[in-house]
Amino acid sequence: MDLDDRTRVADVMSTPLETVGADAPLREAARRMRDDEISALVVTTGGGCIVTQSDVVGAVADGLDPAATTVRDVMTEDVETVTPDLMMQEVAAMMTMYGVKHLPVVDDDYVGMVSTTDVAEHLS
């Protein structure tokens, strides 16, 4: 990444923010991700949680029934977040350091999501 690049999260984050309730069936979350062509949803009733495609794949691989399993059962908790004014270089470093592909963007409330796809598109 160009060290002179002054691009901020707000310039590349995905909006509007897509959300799902913690008590929603996992199948609903998977369907929404597929239909909206996204790979993560912020969990509205989870307090700093997201559900990702990896969470869904892990649940299915473990033999869980997507219709009977809730988002709460598989969601990723205590997710790191970023602010809209953070530089993309810092976001890329955070993703590498924490080993994550998604970072919710928070500005008093959740306002978007930045992903490795956003970082890759920014670099291209």
Per residue in 40-96, pLDDT (tens digit) is 999 998 678 999 999 999 999 999 999 999 999 999 999 999 999 999 989 999 999
**Token pair in block for residue 100:** 């994550």
Element (H, E) at 43: strand 40-43
Q: Is the pLDDT of residue 5 over 90?
A: no
Enter the pTM of the model: 0.87
1: in domain: no
Spatial distance between the Cα atoms of 96 and 79, rounded to a whole number of angstroms: 14
Backbone φ and ψ of 79, nearest 5° = -75, 140
Tell me the C-alpha distance between 124 and 121, whole Å.
5
Is 117 inside a domain boundary? yes
Please count the other Cβ atoms lying within 10 Å of the Cβ belonging to residue 111. 17
Q: Which tens digits make up the pLDDT trace of 28-45?
A: 999 999 999 999 999 998
The number of distinct structural domains making up the chain is: 1
Nearest to 67 by CA among 30, 42, 32: 30
22 in a domain, yes or no?
Answer: yes
